[in-house]
Amino acid sequence: MPRLADPLIDADFRALVEALAREGLPRRAEAARAVEAVACALADRTRSSDFASLREVLPEPFRGKLSLCERHRGTTLARPREPLTAEAFEAHVAEDLGPSPGGAEAAARAVFAALRAQLPEEQAEEVGRLLPPELLPLWRRPS
């Protein structure tokens, strides 16, 4: 059944794609793939109930995409938990992106920067407090 268009979510997604263009992902398809890859990796990393508060403060439409992708849906629960590192998160993103010009780290930083840009400063700080500690370097603004 086709999805009915929701003007608010579509506008939010356009805003996210525009923010990604400012972060170095100008093509819509590339931006959409990056959002989906980061959403999948973050869903995997935060699937325990400990991260319910984080999921609640993430903006739409990203929050709505926060689920395991088809590729990882069956395998993630069966495999042992990876070490809690930014590199493991980036490897998960890379599995979904495949070869990409800037790589998984650049895509994750771009998506996080675009999300941060959509949030009021107070809410962005709340996301930073609730993120898994190993992802903070990807979330923070470059100094």
Average per-residue pLDDT for the chain = 81
Rounded to two decimals, the pTM is 0.81
The domains found in the chain, sorted by start residue, are 7-139 (1.10.490.110)
pLDDT of the residue at 40: 92
pLDDT band at 131 (very low <50, low <70, confident <90, very high): very high
- Give the H or E element holding residue 49: none
Better pLDDT: 2 or 70: 70
pLDDT of the residue at 4: 44
Q: What is the mean pLDDT of residues 116-140?
A: 93
Nearest 10 degrees: CA dihedral of 131, 36, 17, 59? -40
Percentage, residues of the chain above pLDDT 70: 82
Q: What is the mean pLDDT of residues 38-59?
A: 90
Q: What is the mean pLDDT of residues 128-142?
A: 91
pLDDT band at 66 (very low <50, low <70, confident <90, very high): confident
